[in-house]
Structure 1
Amino acid sequence: MNIIKITLLSLSLATSYGIYATTALAAEATASSSVNVSETISHLEKALVEIAKSDFNTAQVHLKAARTSGEKITGSEIVVKQAGALVIQGQIKAKLGDIKAASEELNKALALYKSL
């Protein structure tokens, strides 16, 4: 009888630990994703300011950082891919010196990231 009690206690402890560990990992993933979204938005806003000043070198640094943090975002894959593509297009247009087109693309990407 004692063996059955010990076995049941061990199984219940193992099950509760497994549930706790899974929940903790899910909470950690959600928290890191929201940090990456805010970091990406921050870099995009800084890039837009630099593009408006026609400082394309600094804007490129912020756009690269935005792309890097944008790759780490989890959530709606379609929205993340669309926003990433818009950042790439904005980066290309900024390299060409097209302030208006680059700003339009980056503003669209910014709106998508803010929707997450």
Structure 2
Amino acid sequence: MSELSLWQRIKAFFKKPQDPDQPGPTEIKDGIWYRKQPSGDYLLGVDASVFEEIGQITFADFSTNQTELKAGDDLLDLEGDKSVETLKSPLTGTVISRNHELVNDLTNITAVDSATSWIMELAPHK
């Protein structure tokens, strides 16, 4: 995936982290938002900046079925009306669950509610 533009990096830098009890991203890296859950695990999703770059999503699928991911490993393949991208994992950890409903119903991937739009839950390696 192409790097974020200077403007996107500036917006992400100044974006105020949200209360962990409130839905929404707390950190963004390479088009993936991730938020630490009270359990210590992380919930991951696709940042809105990705949709601006690739347009309306026409296809999505998990790049791998591996249960162990390293930061930088392929995470999710997306196809839009402007381009095709493979998003990378921002964290190293063990996959707890994947949101297969998300890839079956692409309208959920752009949902504001992270309870619907999450792509993966990951237990970080210590």
What's the TM-score, normalizing by structure 2? 0.28
* Greater Rg over alpha carbons, structure: 1
Richer in strand (by share): 2
More helix by share: 1
